[in-house]
Amino acid sequence: MAWNLDSSRPIYAQIAEQVRLDIVSGLYQPGTKLPSVRELASQAKVNPNTMQKALAELERSGLVHSMRTSGRFITEDEEMIKQLKENLAADQIREFLERMSCMGFQPQDTLQLIERMIKEEEA
């Protein structure tokens, strides 16, 4: 997994966001064990305390849970994951529509442009 972290936002928040994306994209399946804090911190090239903070945030949301001596696991609540995926997609769509509006596109114009581009991709 690529860790594209920048200094514009807190690193732990970016890590939590990346793990959320990895879960909704299927990289981490429901019920599977996450790598250890040290492994993830090493992969992301961050301090283990930063990784711990990110994972604690994911635990608070219920997306990840700890089992005392076994480590951290992805929730098995597939409905929660599905809802998160839809919420993340809706956020992206809202941002996109706002940018299109700033460029002067009306919602119907944006939709027509998207449909045309999909047809071109399928061709």
- How high does pLDDT run on average in the chain? 94
State pLDDT tens for residues 7-18. Answer: 899 999 999 999
Indicate whether this model's pTM tops 0.85: no
- How many separate domains does the chain show? 2
Mean pLDDT of 93-98: 96
Instruction: Indicate which CATH number applies to the domain containing 62.
Output: 1.10.10.10
State pLDDT tens for residues 97-106. Answer: 999 999 999 9
Mean pLDDT of 57-78: 94
45 within a domain of the structure (yes/no): yes
* Nearest-angstrom CA–CA distance, 29 and 14: 20
Residues 110, 97 contacting (CB under 8 angstroms): yes
What tokens does 72 get? 């951290």
Identify the pLDDT of residue 75: 97
Determine the structural domain holding residue 103 and report its residue range.
79-122
* Nearest-angstrom CA–CA distance, 107 and 47: 44
Return phi, psi of residue 52, to 5°: -60, -40
Specify whether 95 is located in the same domain as 53: no
State pLDDT tens for residues 28-67. Answer: 999 999 999 999 999 999 999 999 999 999 999 999 999 9
Q: At residue 1, does pLDDT exceed 70?
A: no
